[in-house]
């Protein structure tokens, strides 16, 4: 009996050992099996940051307008005007000097005209004078000749005078009497018409005339102000500073004088 108990104990011990061994293998296998990684939580889509509102620039004083470059009292002769709206009251007295091939110009501006012609020729431009200063008598003769030619075509005296004034200014209304205007042609183009604008000399004048004190006196699209058709051949001396201001801004002389408060009264404004 005692021996049977001993055998039973041995069997139980053996079973217990097998049981413990089996449990150990299971735990080891479980330890070797990797656990699934936890899935990452979905990240929230960031909302776009609002664009910064620019701070308004501090308001400063507006830039000062360029002052009008008016000549001093002794130089106001440069801004004299003569036209149908602003006729000369009488014979305009001016001291003249010969320029180039003997054409007369205001003696105070003759050197500037000669310098412009010399510079143009140095640049290959064949500029030539065809008309400069005219006396009142000469202007009257030119005007009367034009009126007479229109009368020969069948116009009445009144009609001929009106039409003639669109071609040749009436005495006292031409800036040639001031000795400050010049008509220019080239060696190959000697007609006073808009075809002069197609010559390289015309572009040279637009680019350079202000350096020597000259402006295009009757620009295109200014006829309603000047009362004169576009004359690309006609240039006028006003002095370098005034010329630069006028040409940079595309003005005519009337507009410049109006800005300066120097435009004379017309006959209608004066009540005549």
Q: Which residues are catalytic?
A: 231
DSSP tag of 89: S
Q: How far is CA 242 from CA 75, 85, 112, 182, 267, in A?
A: 11, 22, 14, 17, 26
Give the separation between CA 155 and CA 45, rounded to whole angstroms: 90
Q: Which helix (H) or strand (E) holds 114?
A: helix 110-122
Distances (CA, A) of 199 to 71, 87, 189, 194: 33, 32, 8, 10
In eight-state DSSP terms, residue 100 is T
- N residues, the chain: 272
84 vs 211: CA distance, rounded Å = 29
């Amino acid at each position: 009996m005692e021996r049977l108990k001993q055998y039973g104990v041995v069997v139980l011990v053996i079973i217990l050992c097998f049981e413990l061994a089996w449990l150990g293998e299971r735990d080891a296998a479980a330890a070797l099996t990797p656990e699934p990684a936890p899935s990452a939580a979905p990240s929230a889509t960031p909302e776009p940051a609002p664009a910064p509102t620019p701070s308004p620039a501090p308001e400063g004083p507006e830039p000062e307008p360029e002052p009008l470059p008016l000549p001093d009292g002794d130089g106001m002769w440069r801004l004299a005007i003569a036209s149908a709206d602003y006729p000369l009251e009488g014979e305009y007295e001016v001291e003249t000097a010969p320029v180039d091939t003997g054409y007369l110009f205001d003696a105070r501006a003759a050197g500037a005209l000669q310098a412009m012609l010399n510079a143009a020729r140095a640049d290959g431009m064949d500029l030539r004078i065809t008309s400069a200063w005219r006396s009142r008598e000469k202007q009257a003769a030119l005007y009367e000749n034009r009126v007479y030619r229109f009368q020969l075509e069948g116009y009445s005296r009144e009609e001929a005078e009106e039409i003639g004034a669109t071609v040749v200014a009436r005495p006292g209304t031409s800036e040639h009497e001031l000795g400050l205007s010049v008509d220019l042609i080239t060696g190959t183009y000697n007609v006073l018409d808009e075809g002069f604008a197609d010559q390289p000399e015309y572009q040279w004048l637009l680019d350079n005339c202000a350096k020597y004190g000259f402006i295009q006196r009757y620009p295109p699209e200014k006829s309603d102000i000047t009362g004169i058709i576009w004359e690309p051949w006609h240039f006028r001396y006003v002095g370098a500073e005034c010329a630069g201001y006028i040409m940079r801004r595309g003005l005519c002389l009337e507009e410049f004088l109006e800005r300066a408060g120097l435009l004379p009264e017309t006959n209608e404004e004066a009540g005549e």
